[in-house]
Amino acid sequence: MGWNPSHELIVFLVICGCVVFVFIGYALARLYGGDTFDGPGLPGMTPEQASYMRDVRLRNREDMFHALQGMEKGHRGEWNQNSSHHTEHDIAGRLRTSRT
C-alpha cells in the first residue's frame, strides 16, 4: 500500500540531508563567525585594498545587526539612509581598538 522505499534509499537520503546541513552550518559560521583570516590578503592585493575590504565587511555586519534590531522592535528592518548607525570614522576607530 503506497510507496515503500528500500532501506538503501533511506540511508542515502539521510546522508544527503546531513551533507546539506553541514554546508548550511559552514555558510552560517562564515557569515556570522567573523574573520578567521588576518593575513596580508590575496596575492596582489595592496594594503589599502585589504583595509577597504575590512571596512566594508564591518559596515555590512553593523548594517545587518541594526536591521535585525529594528525588526525586533517592530520596524520590519526598514532601511533609512539618514539613520545610519555608523560613520567611516567610527569604523576606523573600532578597527584600531580591536587590534590592540
State whether 50 and 92 are in the same domain.
yes
Query: By the 8 A CB rule, do 76 and 70 touch?
Result: yes
**Is it the case that residue 87 has pLDDT exceeding 90?**
no
Model confidence pTM above 0.75:
no
Residue 24 lies in a domain: yes
CA angle 41, 46, 49 (to 5 degrees): 80
Span 2-59, pLDDT tens digits = 788 899 999 999 999 999 999 999 988 887 776 666 565 567 778 888 889 889 989 9
pLDDT (0 to 100) of residue 6: 94
Residue 20 lies in a domain: yes
In angstroms, the CA 9 to CA 11 distance is: 5
How far the first Cα of the chain sits from its last, in Å, is: 68
Span 56-80, pLDDT tens digits = 989 998 888 888 887 665 555 454 5
**Which domain does 14 fall in, by range?**
1-34
State whether 51 and 87 are in the same domain.
yes
Query: By the 8 A CB rule, do 100 and 64 touch?
Result: no
State whether 48 and 25 are in the same domain.
no
State whether 49 and 96 are in the same domain.
yes
